[in-house]
Structure 1
Amino acid sequence: MADSTGTRLEPIIIPTIEEMTIENFIDTFYKILEWKKFNGWKAYHDNPSKQELLEQAKFYGDDYANGAHGWASNIWSRSKNNTAVVEDNSQLDDQHKLLMRSALEYVLSPNQLIKMDGCYGQNEKVRMHARVYTDAHYPDLPMRWRELVYEADPNGKPDCTLLMLPGLWTPATMPGSGGKHPMFIIRFPEHWFTLGSVSSYQGEWKKSCLTHWIYYCYLKGGTGQHAGTRQFEIQDTGGNWKKIGGVIWGLTGSGKSAHGMYIFDKTNSKFFEDRGLPVLDIVRNQSIKNDDIVGIFEGGAFGSEKGAWTKTEDVKPDQWAIYTAGVSPRAMHENTGKGADGNPNFLDTILQYRGKPNQNARTVMYLDDMKPYFDGSIDIDFPPNLLVFISPGYTCDYAWLKIMDPYFAAATLAAGRTVGHPAQSTEGVGEPKYVPLYSPFIVGKSATNADHTHRFLDILRKYMDAGDCQTLLINTTGRIGTELVEEGGELKPKFRITSEGKKKPVGGTGPSIEETELFLMQAARDAVTWEPHPVWGERVLYPTDVPGFSAERLAELNPFNSRTEEQMRSFLHAQISQTKALFDSRIKGLDEKIYSAMDF
């Protein structure tokens, strides 16, 4: 092959479908970059500045009146059903190879990339260098991603690498889907490499890196968990100050960020003061730690990101931390509406996605913009003592429970029970879902779902042995007493479609964000009176007295007052059956005591 001057260019050999392996795919990718540089082609832009990227990205984004910028992605949720995990060459299918070869062809063509480096983890124990190469047609993505992570040496050796090509589409489909589901993403956990295509959704970048970080944390002796963290001091019922490290687990849209980043201040204190809890007097040294993925270790909970990419749908000023950082001129928005005043509108009803109102507005925000409620550290540097699982439900869930049995707690984590939300997927909205460990981001031969569950159990037992550690189960976006309808011989929650096109349960009641925060504070200060669960007994307790709540309100939040005991047992049996089906299919090798912890 020769150019117009007759000078010969040595060709790059891209492996055929038959020859393709994980190793020669990665090797060929780097060879293409070197070939381009050697022959005078621009292979990539190496860690361009935020200003350089912003100037390019402004061309297709929009500005808000407060000076912030925003963009729209081509897909408005993660593409879970379009993501494959391949641990070794024996698992490679021709469809995987088609996407891999297409990616190499795309990189070889005159498509410049952007190379960006960053570190996850502030603590050296969990600090992981990530390098991302991406399609230069989408400069907003590397710009926003870098604001979430710590600095890394661009000449250093990365611990994981991503090749993200939103401009690439191929006819590759997910193996086993009968050609119905296109393939966008392949994770190679044992090679610490991820290949992405099609989607320009920021979440694919973030979660692809964090998937590797979760594995990294396990290999470092902890367990990476899909949870947020906060820290504060509270005065207990005896007048003593307690230091609280809180970890809040939950799937997207369940309230994890709402409670993990909740701050008490003068904008919301009246609700609590009116109910006898002077929060501004008895809560001090509040600090947001981390919003999304944390490493749980014996000595503490270590954060992953220096910023937050947070769902801002329906966020109001009384959610001080998220709102304040979200309306900062520095915030960078995704799929976020604009109000009549030209500012970001978190209550927007104009934007739509796939025929329904948008329910996944997102914002990259700075924890520094949450000062004075961010102290510069994203770590809880002592064993956390308030562990909160969010499992919304509509049939047999209390508003709040306390888990006394560590095996029951491990089973709750392993089950990852929730209800579907548009931010998770466009499918199954409002329906019960079971996602192992509340996390679709666990990969790696050496860190299976069962491995992470067992590691968590070991750490939890040490937390509990050390003293004052509470494990709570809360029902946030679910309802108590939802009306039932018979379908196929079974009683199921009844739903309606609102005038805005949202799916909502009919009847019943659920705790507000403020009510749940009031409960959490009373639990943290040991002010709650508990009784054994009517079915599970001493393994799980329910609240019979929570200062600030009337007996009537607590009765409304007790499902035994809206269901018969026969119905409750039937619904609980169904939950346990679904939980064990998940254990059998997705968490093989689980300790028998965890497997049977919920039996009655």
Structure 2
Amino acid sequence: MVGAESETVLPRVDEITIEGFREAFKQIIRLKESCGIKPILDNPSDLFERAKLYGVQYRNGAWGWASNIWHRSASGTMVINSDEELRHEHKILMLRVLEHILVQGPLIKVDGIVGKPGSRVELRCRLYCDPQFPDIAYRWSQLVFPGKPDEEPDVEVFCIPHYLGNPRIPGKDELLKVLRFPNHNYTIITCSSYQGEVKKAFLSHWILHAYRVGGTGEHAALREFTVKRKDGERKRVVMCIWGLTGSGKSTHGMYIWDSENAEIYREKFGINPLEYVSDQAIKNDDIVAIFEDRVIGSEKGSWTKTEGVTKAQIAIWRAAMSPKALHENTEFDENGNPSLAGKLYQYFGMKNRNARSVFYLEDTGYFNGDVESSGPLNTAIFLTPGYFTDYAWVKIVDPAFAAKVLADGRTIGHPAQSREIAGRVRFVSRYCLPFTMGVSSTAHVIRFYKMLRKRAERGDPIDVYQFNTTGRIIARYEWKKMRLGDEEVEVPEPIFSYTENGVRVPVGGTSPTIEETELFILQASRGAVEYEPHPIWGEKVLVPVRVEGLPDERLRELKPTTYLSLNEMKRLLKAQIRLSKYHLDKQCPGLPPEIYNAMDF
């Protein structure tokens, strides 16, 4: 029997190792068991009932919970690859977690599978969650596939959402909250009760797993439909849509044309999408594994940002309004039902811009239970919102250029990422940098580039597009000097105004509506878009000159060249390319020259 003394189970801080943390955890479990203390609640059947004690029940029967932080703690996360990288601060946090587990009541253990069960990407996952947060454990269990409690897990996550006197990240004025150990297959989460920490912890390990089994793990939604092309042929569209939170990935990844929103298209564009589209399917909302022959989703549910969603986005609306939906930071309306309006709740004085819902894909009405694509990827869309040089939509012909867009991961910050960076131009490699570990972003980009090039060489290219969804064409800006390392450069900075709710918004410009972008997706898939070479990049990138149903004047408004001289456009692009390379050198180093320099002119 293990003696009931802390010295027998808790290592000294200087003795802590990555594997030693796990061994100490097991020692705590054995000690409690030997003393007649229950250490674990093993996949408890009453987990939902436990969670209800902390929740809000809406009038429609759905439940919701609050989190103390309303976005992921990316800046408080560190990836540790080996014991040699462990610093004193890391060891302090690891010890504090062990000390808390020793004192705390039985941890909730939940087993689940991420990745289609039985497929090459199946990953057995086990969550140990502080018992004061049963809602986190329950909601995660509803996102993933049923687990295998009797088998050893591939990955473990220890979720202790308390402040534990956390140390600062070495060399930074930022609390250390999350530690990931990719080569030892576990993650530690503290401080935050935001559901996304647990979800993305497992998905970060799954992205690495997808790479290890020959694919590339991508921050992208998966959607399919069959379209009747202009030539009369029918094509099954297997579409992935990349993007960071707040850029429209869920909006377009789970978009469905139906009889209600078809009226919008009849009225605005004079077409009925349902005359061309059939067999629509939602496959996955967030993270996918892409292989040469298939795309495979990670989860059977969705954890989707829902504020601002309307009935026109029928699939998301239907699932979010289901009595089975499990909400987070989602307000209620005057009738006591869930509201997606973003008018009641606020965070740091700003109206809510990150309401979230765990819902079942089956409740969208367009999910058949299979998260695997019906065939290989044939359409790739990168959501790259910007303020200065971006068209609403372009088609990318050159595989190296497409790989550069992916490597850049250029986007605009959203409060769901962090309230401090909302509205700012950002470079987040592969739209996936916070979730990439174990192998470099460069390795993922090169593997995807080889897929693109192979398909192009055999005459079956993947159609690649870049969309400016939540950006502007074009915002007002001013040139400012900034330092990039030892170099001083001039870059454009958008001019912002602030709403009465404190939301930072760019001044000037226009943006495509959701329906305009979906019209482009439809017509591009049909072969009903005419293009011309980009004025600077030429045949590498094609610019639409006619989109069936979209008025020519509106298309003209969605082109930056309507507002910029060619010389100013070149100046803006050169600044963008310089910025992108500065960030690539840090986030995605060692790219082949044909990718790194693909945008040069």
- Pairwise TM-score range, normalised by the shorter structure: over 0.9
Offset at 1:438? 0.3
* 8 A Cα contact 2:80 2:182, kept in partner: yes
SS of the residue corresponding to residue 539 of structure 1 reads: strand
* 8 A Cα contact 2:48 2:138, kept in partner: yes
Determine the structure 2 residue equivalent to 1:126: 121
SS of the residue corresponding to residue 126 of structure 2 reads: strand
Change (3 A) 1:10 1:331: closer
Match of 2:158 among 157, 163, 172: 163
Q: Deviations over 1:118-174 (max 9, x none)?
A: 001115111100001010000001100000011111111111001110134223111
* 8 A Cα contact 2:74 2:434, kept in partner: no
Match of 1:30 among 26, 44, 47: 26
Offset at 1:468? 5.1
Q: What amino acid sits opposite 2:568 in the alignment?
A: Q
Matched, 1:185 2:156: no
SS of the residue corresponding to residue 100 of structure 2 reads: helix
Structure 2 matches for 1:119-518, cutoff 5 A? 119-122=113-116, 124-177=119-172, 180-274=173-267, 275-371=269-365, 373-445=366-438, 447-464=439-456, 465=458, 467=460, 469-487=462-480, 491-518=492-519
Q: Deviations over 1:156-213 (max 9, x none)?
A: 1111001110134223111120xx2111100000000101111000000000000000
* 8 A Cα contact 2:499 2:505, kept in partner: yes
Q: Deviations over 1:486-512 (max 9, x none)?
A: 545754222111123222121111100
Determine the structure 2 residue equivalent to 1:547: 548
Q: For residues 186 and 492 of structure 1, what CA distance do their matches in structure 2 show?
A: 34
* 8 A Cα contact 1:419 1:429, kept in partner: yes
SS of the residue corresponding to residue 145 of structure 2 reads: coil
Q: For residues 327 and 111 of structure 1, what CA distance do their matches in structure 2 show?
A: 35
Q: For residues 277 and 576 of structure 1, what CA distance do their matches in structure 2 show?
A: 39
Q: For residues 503 and 470 of structure 1, what CA distance do their matches in structure 2 show?
A: 34
SS of the residue corresponding to residue 388 of structure 1 reads: strand
Larger deviation: 294-303 or 455-464?
A: 455-464
Determine the structure 2 residue equivalent to 1:40: 36
Q: What amino acid sits opposite 1:377 in the alignment?
A: D
Offset at 1:277? 2.6
Q: For residues 401 and 226 of structure 1, what CA distance do their matches in structure 2 show?
A: 20
Aligned length: 590
Matched, 1:58 2:59: no
Q: For residues 585 and 492 of structure 2, what CA distance do their matches in structure 1 show?
A: 25
Change (3 A) 1:110 1:229: closer
Offset at 1:385? 0.9
Q: What amino acid sits opposite 1:364 in the alignment?
A: V
* 8 A Cα contact 2:166 2:177, kept in partner: no
Determine the structure 2 residue equivalent to 1:596: 597
* 8 A Cα contact 2:307 2:355, kept in partner: yes
Change (3 A) 1:145 1:490: closer
TM-score by length of 1: 0.96
Q: For residues 36 and 246 of structure 1, what CA distance do their matches in structure 2 show?
A: 51
* 8 A Cα contact 1:254 1:476, kept in partner: yes
SS of the residue corresponding to residue 259 of structure 1 reads: helix
Q: What amino acid sits opposite 1:256 in the alignment?
A: K
Change (3 A) 1:108 1:62: same
Q: For residues 69 and 297 of structure 2, what CA distance do their matches in structure 1 show?
A: 28
* 8 A Cα contact 1:311 1:361, kept in partner: yes
Q: For residues 285 and 383 of structure 2, what CA distance do their matches in structure 1 show?
A: 14
Q: Deviations over 1:22-57 (max 9, x none)?
A: 1111111111112111211111100012xx222222
Q: What amino acid sits opposite 2:137 in the alignment?
A: P
* 8 A Cα contact 2:491 2:575, kept in partner: no
Offset at 1:109? 1.1
Q: For residues 138 and 305 of structure 1, what CA distance do their matches in structure 2 show?
A: 22
Offset at 1:8? 7.0
Q: For residues 81 and 521 of structure 1, what CA distance do their matches in structure 2 show?
A: 38
The CA RMSD measured in Å over matched residues stands at 1.6
**Runs of 5+ consecutive residues of structure 2 not aligned to the other structure:** 482-489
Change (3 A) 1:466 1:157: farther
Q: Deviations over 1:234-280 (max 9, x none)?
A: 00001211110010000000000000000000120012223233211
Change (3 A) 1:8 1:99: closer
* 8 A Cα contact 1:77 1:423, kept in partner: yes
Q: For residues 526 and 35 of structure 1, what CA distance do their matches in structure 2 show?
A: 67
Q: For residues 490 and 414 of structure 1, what CA distance do their matches in structure 2 show?
A: 20
SS of the residue corresponding to residue 241 of structure 2 reads: strand
SS of the residue corresponding to residue 226 of structure 2 reads: strand
* 8 A Cα contact 1:84 1:185, kept in partner: yes
Offset at 1:338? 0.4
Determine the structure 1 residue equivalent to 2:68: 74
**Runs of 5+ consecutive residues of structure 1 not aligned to the other structure:** none
* 8 A Cα contact 2:342 2:353, kept in partner: no
Change (3 A) 1:460 1:247: same
Q: What amino acid sits opposite 1:103 in the alignment?
A: V
* 8 A Cα contact 1:312 1:326, kept in partner: yes
Offset at 1:96? 0.2
Q: For residues 579 and 398 of structure 1, what CA distance do their matches in structure 2 show?
A: 18
* 8 A Cα contact 1:190 1:444, kept in partner: no
